Amino acid sequence: MSGKRRVFDKEFKLMSVELSGPPRGNNRTDLNALAKELDVPPAMLYRWRREFSTKQNGSFPGNGKVILSEQELARLKKELRETQMERDIFKKAISIFSRSDGKYSGS
């Protein structure tokens, strides 16, 4: 095996999915032959097709970067604020309860 990992750009992946069949309507029956033509493993074609069929426009973001929707980003920011607030409350509670026994100095 070669030691270098090949990288395929988004356009190549989209073109491969389009050539491979059902998600776009072109009905190519022999994916092994297509994989050989494109010089990619057949399993990779199947993975690209599966990703495209589940994510559509969000598929193949590049370099492992996940594209979050605006709603998902807002939800995560809200969750972060709530978690930080809970953390601050716990810090204050620990500080209050440990004043009497002197075990915790607080930060």
Give the torsion through C-alpha atoms of 98, 99, 101, 106, to 10 deg: 50
Rounded to an integer, the average pLDDT of 6-35 is 76
**Is residue 54 over pLDDT 70?**
yes
Rounded to an integer, the average pLDDT of 23-35 is 67
Specify the higher pLDDT residue, 1 or 96.
Answer: 96
Rounded Cα distance between 64 and 56, Å, is 16
Whether the CB-CB separation of 35 and 45 falls below 8 Å is answered with: yes
Rounded Cα distance between 34 and 12, Å, is 13
CB count within 10 Å of CB 101 equals: 7
Predicted model pTM: 0.50
